[in-house]
Structure 1
Amino acid sequence: MSTGYQLHPASYRDPAGFIFRKHGTIYRQVNQSGAADYQALMDSGAYDSFTSKGWLVKHTGLNEKLTGTGEWYTTLRPEPVAITSYPWEWSFGMLKDSALLTLKLATESLQYGLSLKDATPFNTQWLNGRLVFIDTLSFEKYDEQLPWVAYRQFCETYLSPLLLMHYSKQPLQGIMAAYPDGIPLAITASLLPFRSRFRIPVALHIHLHARMSRTQSPARDPGKQRFSRTRMTNLLGNLQSLVQNLRLEERPTTWLDYYGEAGDRAGYLPAKKKLVEEWLSGLPDVKAITDLGANEGEFSLIAAAGDRQVLCTDMDPFCINRIYSRINATPILNIQPMVLDLSNPSPAAGFSNEEYPSFITRARADLVMALALVHHLCLGRNIPPDRLAAFLATMGKRLLVEYVPADDPKSLQLLEHKKDSPANYNRESLLAAFLLYFDMEKQSPITGSGRELWLMVKKTANGKPS
């Protein structure tokens, strides 16, 4: 019998089980070596408690050996995550919330005789708008004679980037892409300011931890000492208190208050919102939208009406943190914020460049919105219009794009420190470039701005609309 399954490229580290896809559905296999810990999670009441609180992803158990492998114990079908994102695509607040959820689960697990053996951001995702822990096999039976095996991993994957951002007052998403398995403690310690040594939790979890890891045997590593349940609880509580008090204060950026300034243009913002609402309402087949250069998400919120799934991206981490905080304070469940520089989108990464798919392969949508964006890429980043049009055509079936003239105040701001303006940035050139890949469905001027909205549908291989 042919099993016909595809192993997930990132699911090879844990002998307790693995993720695979079969007939388009994601499953998790529990192996015999992980059976006892999995049953402890299920029989202790921890699974029911954590899923009811929205902390842990729910799954359906299947007594089917879908892979045909000899080590099979059981099969799980977890709730699917619509859009996968990675730590280097998260704002400070998103990473902090992921750290706090991990610590909360590690602490609460002790009450059920369990412990977390993994503490990495990759084990959390946003499902239906809320952060959940997705690795069911990260729970193991707690042994009071053994240390918390994930302590160092937590310090390197969570605490290190959070502390570096806190002390530098800079968003440092890129450093997490450079160190996907965590920033080595010695590097973090060398980059933190001298005054951080006088903050006891930082001195303990970073500086002392790094020093002992370099100079002592593995048994003397703070995370490898034998901890009683009380000491374990105190350790987790100390980490939670430290993370809770870390901050990355907003600082002025070029586009942080973009729509506040846009509101000063008489009639522009209301007219643009009205057009977007009307055009989207006429597209009932559009269920997934990617909003590129979304700023603080004003139009992502409009796009999310009607239960559409929206991926909301912007290169400014402070903008993404604002929309993240905003949707967290509301019942909105279908917007996924993401920090993304479109001139350098997240590449494929991990072993064999297969563990973490590129942004482009994850961001396929029914419609792509590029509102007040094209001039940033063409004028600010010198991306030729034809290459931009080709790029956008790979991401969705339809395109809603805003044309911003070269003499617009925002365009002139982008050109302020440039010697020459790109000669091919004009309405005719842009339109010609986009019509190579799309057919025009609707177009309209936006009141009070000199700008235009274009709604387009992608051509098929034979040159007809898809």
Structure 2
Amino acid sequence: MRKIKPDSSSFRDPDGFVFSVKGEIYRAIRDTYRLNYEFFINSGLYEHLKSLNYIIPHQDIKFPKVGSDIFKIIKPQKIPYVSYPYEWTFSELKDAALLTLRIELEALKYKMSLKDGSGYNIQFLNGKPVFIDTTSFEIYRENTPWTAYGQFCRHFLSPLSLMAYKDPFFNQIQRLYLDGISLDKVSRLLPFRSYFNLPIFIHIHLHAKSSQLYKNKTVFKQNQKFTLAAFNGIVKNLITAVENLKWRRGDMHWSTYYDSLSYSPEAFRSKNMIFDKYLKLALPESLIDIGANTGHFSKIAAKKGIFTIALDNDPVVMDCLYQECQINNIRNLMPLVVDITNPSPDLGWENEERISLLKRGPVSMVSMLAVVHHLAIRQNIPFEMISKFLASLCRWLIIEFIPKDDVMVQKLLSNRKDIFFQYNQKHFEKVFSQRFIRLNQTKIADSNRVMYLFKNKHRLTLNKI
């Protein structure tokens, strides 16, 4: 009998678990889920959801005997890059919420229902949210409320409401509450005007109050009627609640970055040409763009067929980039809200349930343009630590060095003492040459800025995209 180890994030569901063998992902389905799984397949619901691109496709696998309680092994299509709800933009989280609700409506048509309303059941594939938990469906039981309702509100409606009414940065709170943000906390944080939004009043404020009032009491009794029409009505009302939530577009820190004094038109054209040249030299399959701001260079890479992850700590700019990708059908670019100086850590049970950003790589290439001076001067991070960090992430590196006499560096130094005596091009090159081979360096026209193409001295096992 072959022993398989469940993935560290896949231990809570008694009906199955995810595991990997030689980098390939599989899902084991236990015998306890046999009836629901067979109904899910034979009813046509799986094929229907697959035709809508709502659920991750899978294939049945003949696997060596793995345990007497295992009914079936399936192999789902692999997600190119795992992300988590606390890294998503407002619109990414909103689209994930709407997908969950639309799946529930479709499931009800086939006499099934979702037993989970978790945000972690969603990943992004080809620029769109997709449902990945095949064992989340159960046969619909008449006169029974939606068991996933509370979890859906905590995982989706709570953070979306806070992001819409307060600030997009509130999504980061999900790092603290992996099973969703409690409704009573959200109700207290939301402004008074949210009470005049009827769906929010019902599903957040009233829901929070009733949960506190009846938390030690049995509310629903088996002889009570909860019709299918009522079930559909709640789901549709939740769809209305989510669809009507809009974030307020304020000033974006990076929105006019390339229109400012940073680059002349000639310098910006030169930077584009150098970036394009380096992509052609390295031919990466995947790229992480650190400090992507508006996503200009992320889009250049994505349009060349390179799977691109755009990272920036500005949730508004990243949300605009995600919406632009949806409008222009850019399917291989994934914006994530990440502060690279404080990236997503290992979280959850034994710090293994949600893996850190750094453990989800490495990728073929990292681009880090006009970022080094922020790390070295604003954050006081030495070149040695920046170099070590980047060497753990990629095989190829495109990086831009901005000298101390540049207007943007002078701006950083304007209100502080200059203690950065080793912030110079010579020291930068010396430090990075310890871990990287310098293949090319090119001065950006009409500026003193320099772009480099480096290759890691160590051969990394890349994350397959």
TM-score normalised over the length of structure 1? 0.94
Sort the Cα spacing of 1:275 and 1:32 in 2 relative to 1 into closer, same or farther, 3 A. same
1:281 matched to which residue of 2? Answer: 280
Q: Alpha-carbon deviation of 1:385?
A: 1.2
Question: Counterparts of 1:396-411 in structure 2 under 5 Å?
Answer: 396-411=394-409
Q: Does 1:86 align with 2:84?
A: yes
> Which sections of structure 1, spanning at least 5 residues, go unmatched?
462-466
CA distance in 2, matches of 1:459, 1:365: 15
Question: 8 Å contact 1:266–1:448 — kept in the other structure?
Answer: no
1:246 matched to which residue of 2? Answer: 245
Sort the Cα spacing of 1:208 and 1:291 in 2 relative to 1 into closer, same or farther, 3 A. same
Structure 1, 399-408 or 89-98: larger mean CA deviation: 399-408
1:348 matched to which residue of 2? Answer: 346
1:231 matched to which residue of 2? Answer: 230
Structure 1, 345-354 or 122-131: larger mean CA deviation: 122-131
Q: Alpha-carbon deviation of 1:276?
A: 1.1
SS at match of 1:162: helix
SS at match of 2:272: helix
CA distance in 1, matches of 2:318, 2:168: 14
Amino acid at match of 1:401: I
Q: Alpha-carbon deviation of 1:254?
A: 2.5
Amino acid at match of 1:295: N
Question: 8 Å contact 1:65–1:75 — kept in the other structure?
Answer: no
Sort the Cα spacing of 1:149 and 1:218 in 2 relative to 1 into closer, same or farther, 3 A. farther
Deviation track 1:372-397 (CA, whole Å, cap 9, x = no partner) reads 11111112211111111111111011
Which residue of 182, 185, 189 corresponds with 2:183? 185
Question: 8 Å contact 2:143–2:228 — kept in the other structure?
Answer: no
SS at match of 2:384: helix
Structure 1, 247-256 or 377-386: larger mean CA deviation: 247-256
CA distance in 1, matches of 2:438, 2:182: 51
2:270 matched to which residue of 1? Answer: 271
CA distance in 2, matches of 1:87, 1:53: 22
Sort the Cα spacing of 1:236 and 1:73 in 2 relative to 1 into closer, same or farther, 3 A. same
CA distance in 2, matches of 1:264, 1:374: 16
Which residue of 309, 312, 315 corresponds with 1:314? 312
Q: Alpha-carbon deviation of 1:410?
A: 2.1
Q: Percent identity?
A: 36
Question: 8 Å contact 2:168–2:316 — kept in the other structure?
Answer: no
Deviation track 1:70-116 (CA, whole Å, cap 9, x = no partner) reads 11111110000010001111111111111011011111111011101
1:102 matched to which residue of 2? Answer: 100
Question: Counterparts of 1:320-339 in structure 2 under 5 Å?
Answer: 320-339=318-337
CA distance in 1, matches of 2:138, 2:41: 11
Structure 1, 82-91 or 323-332: larger mean CA deviation: 323-332
Question: 8 Å contact 2:348–2:354 — kept in the other structure?
Answer: yes
Which residue of 440, 458, 461 corresponds with 1:460? 458
Amino acid at match of 2:334: Q
Amino acid at match of 1:320: M
1:369 matched to which residue of 2? Answer: 367
Q: Alpha-carbon deviation of 1:226?
A: 5.2
Question: 8 Å contact 2:127–2:331 — kept in the other structure?
Answer: yes
SS at match of 1:57: coil
Which residue of 381, 384, 387 corresponds with 1:383? 381
Sort the Cα spacing of 1:262 and 1:26 in 2 relative to 1 into closer, same or farther, 3 A. farther
Amino acid at match of 2:228: R
Q: Alpha-carbon deviation of 1:307?
A: 2.4
2:165 matched to which residue of 1? Answer: 167
Sort the Cα spacing of 1:351 and 1:35 in 2 relative to 1 into closer, same or farther, 3 A. same
1:416 matched to which residue of 2? Answer: 414
Question: 8 Å contact 2:290–2:367 — kept in the other structure?
Answer: yes
CA distance in 1, matches of 2:117, 2:69: 25
> Which sections of structure 2, spanning at least 5 residues, go unmatched?
460-465
Pairwise CA RMSD of aligned residues? 1.9
1:148 matched to which residue of 2? Answer: 146
Deviation track 1:333-386 (CA, whole Å, cap 9, x = no partner) reads 211211110110110111001111110011311111111111111122111111
Question: 8 Å contact 2:282–2:396 — kept in the other structure?
Answer: no
2:439 matched to which residue of 1? Answer: 441
CA distance in 2, matches of 1:93, 1:418: 38
Sort the Cα spacing of 1:69 and 1:4 in 2 relative to 1 into closer, same or farther, 3 A. closer
1:464 matched to which residue of 2? Answer: none
Question: Counterparts of 1:130-145 in structure 2 under 5 Å?
Answer: 130-145=128-143
Question: 8 Å contact 2:90–2:168 — kept in the other structure?
Answer: no
Amino acid at match of 1:10: S
Deviation track 1:387-426 (CA, whole Å, cap 9, x = no partner) reads 1111111101121100111222222233333343522222
SS at match of 1:400: strand
Amino acid at match of 2:328: T
SS at match of 2:282: coil
Structure 1, 274-283 or 418-427: larger mean CA deviation: 418-427
Q: Alpha-carbon deviation of 1:4?
A: 5.1
SS at match of 2:159: helix
Amino acid at match of 1:120: S
Which residue of 192, 196, 199 corresponds with 1:198? 196
SS at match of 1:282: helix
Sort the Cα spacing of 1:39 and 1:257 in 2 relative to 1 into closer, same or farther, 3 A. farther
CA distance in 1, matches of 2:261, 2:314: 17
1:256 matched to which residue of 2? Answer: 255
CA distance in 2, matches of 1:287, 1:202: 43
CA distance in 1, matches of 2:394, 2:62: 38
Amino acid at match of 1:310: T
Question: 8 Å contact 1:129–1:332 — kept in the other structure?
Answer: yes
Q: Alpha-carbon deviation of 1:221?
A: 7.2
Q: Alpha-carbon deviation of 1:196?
A: 2.1
Amino acid at match of 1:356: R
2:463 matched to which residue of 1? Answer: none
Deviation track 1:139-186 (CA, whole Å, cap 9, x = no partner) reads 111112211001000111111111111111442122011111101111
Q: Alpha-carbon deviation of 1:198?
A: 3.2
Q: Alpha-carbon deviation of 1:63?
A: 3.7
Aligned length: 457
2:462 matched to which residue of 1? Answer: none
